[in-house]
Amino acid sequence: MSRHGQRLALTGPLHLGTAKQLSEALELASSEPGARLDLDLTQAIELDGAAMALLVHWRSRLQSKGVDCSLIAQSERARALIALYGGDATAPNASSVESTSAAASRAGLAVEALGMRTQALGADLTTLVAFIGSATSALGAVLKRPHTGNLRSLLGLASKAGADALPIVVLINFLVGFVMGFQSARQLQTYGADIFVADIVGLAVTRELAPLMTAIIVCGRSGAGIAAELGTMKVSEELDALRAMGFGPMRYLVFPHVLALLLVVPLLTVVADFFGVLGGMTVARYNLQIGATAYLAETRTAILPWDIAGGLIKAACYALAIALIACQQGFATSGGAAGVGRRTTSTVVIGLFVIVLIDASLTVVFRLSNV
C-alpha cells in the first residue's frame, strides 16, 4: 500500500486477513477538512466484502469530516462491490448532517413529549373512572350502614366550607350584581327602560352568575383545601393507617366531604342570589332613582321559580364535581410536599374547567327543554 499525493493506492490482497494493515494505512492517510483523497483499488490483487465494508466505512467517516473521498476501481467485480456496499453514494455534508440530526432530535422530543402527555392523560382518566366507581360503591355501603360514613364530621366540614366562606361569597356576588347594574343602566336609560335593570340583574344572577361565582369560590377555597388535606394524609401514610384500622377512606373521608359540599353550595347560592339582587338594587336606587319597592316588585315579576331552581341544580352539580375532583386528586398525591402542591394546583385548574363545562352543558339542556 503506498500513497501518491492525494491518491492512496491500495495494492496487494485486500481481505479480512489484511483488514488491520488496511485500517492503519487509512488512519495515516486521513486528510484535513476541505482536502481530496482518492482510494485507488486498480492495483488490488484480491478484494472481498470485509475489506470493501471497511473502505466504505472510512470513506463515510472522512466525508463526515469534510474530506472529499472517493473509491476508484476499474474491474467490474470491484465496481460491483463498491455499488453493493454503497461506496458510490453521495454523502451529505457535515452541516446538512448536523441540521438533519438536530431536526430529527427535535421531532423525536416533540413526539416523545406528546406520547408522555397522552399516556399521562390516559392514566389520569383510568384513575378517575376507578375512583368514581369506588366512590359509588362506598356510597352504597354507607346507605346500608350509615354509621360507617363518619357523619359526625359533617357539621364541622359544612361549617368550614360554608360559614367560613360566607363573607367572600356575599362580597363577590354583591359586587357582581352591582357591576351588572352599572353596565346595563346606561343602555337602558337610552331607551327610557330604567326599570328593566331589575330583570337583567335578577335573571343573570339567579340563572347563571350566583351559582357560577359561588362554585368558583368554593373550588378555589374548599376544593384546594380538601385536596391538600387528603394529599398530606396520603404522603404521610395516614390513609394506610386508616385501612389498617378497618376504616375505609372512601366512606370515612370522601363521603363526608361530598355530602358537606352538596349541602353547603346550594345554600350559599341562595345567599348569593339575594346579595346579587341587592347589588343591582343599590345601583338602581342611587344611579337610576328607582325605589326599592318598585325594584323588588319588578324582580318578582321577572324571576320565575324555575330560574332559582335551575341555579340550585347547577350549584349541586358543581358541588359534586368539586368534591369528587378534590378527593381524587388528594388520593392520587405522591412525592411529598411538592406532590401535595401539584395536586392542589391541579384540583383548582381541573375544577374550574369542569365547572364551566357543566355550566355550558346544563345551559344548553335547559334551553332545549324550554325552561
- Residues 164/265, Cβ–Cβ less than 8 Å: no
Non-local (6+) Cβ contacts of 54 within 8 A are 19, 22, 23, 26
Whole-model pTM over 0.85:
no
Q: CATH for 2-91? A: 3.30.750.24
What DSSP assignment string belongs to 174-227? HHHHHHHHHHHHHHHHHTT-GGGHHHHHHHHIIIIIHHHHHHHHHIIIIIHHHH
- Residues 17/54, Cβ–Cβ less than 8 Å: no
Grid coordinates belonging to 215? 362554585
- Alpha-carbon distance of 215 to 265, in angstroms, equals 7
**36-40: strand order across its sheet:** 2-4, 7-9, 36-40, 68-72
Grid coordinates belonging to 147? 354509621
Residue 218 has pLDDT above 90, yes or no: yes
Report the first-to-last Cα separation within the chain, whole angstroms. 96
**Residue with more model confidence, 70 or 325:** 325
**Residue with more model confidence, 183 or 138:** 183
Grid coordinates belonging to 99? 441540521
| pLDDT level of residue 96 (50, 70, 90 thresholds) | very low
- Alpha-carbon distance of 299 to 281, in angstroms, equals 10
Average pLDDT, the chain: 82
Residue ranges of domains in the chain: 2-91, 145-368
| Residue 71, beta-bridge partner list | 39
Look at 20-29, 293-302, 305-314 and tell me which has the smallest mean pLDDT.
20-29
Model pLDDT for residues 270-280, shown as the tens digit of each residue: 999 999 999 99
Nearest to 332 by CA among 243, 228, 219, 244: 228
The CB density around residue 187, as the number of other CB atoms within 10 Å, is 12
Model pLDDT for residues 227-239, shown as the tens digit of each residue: 999 999 888 888 8
Model pLDDT for residues 21-43, shown as the tens digit of each residue: 777 777 776 666 667 777 777 77
| pLDDT level of residue 3 (50, 70, 90 thresholds) | very low
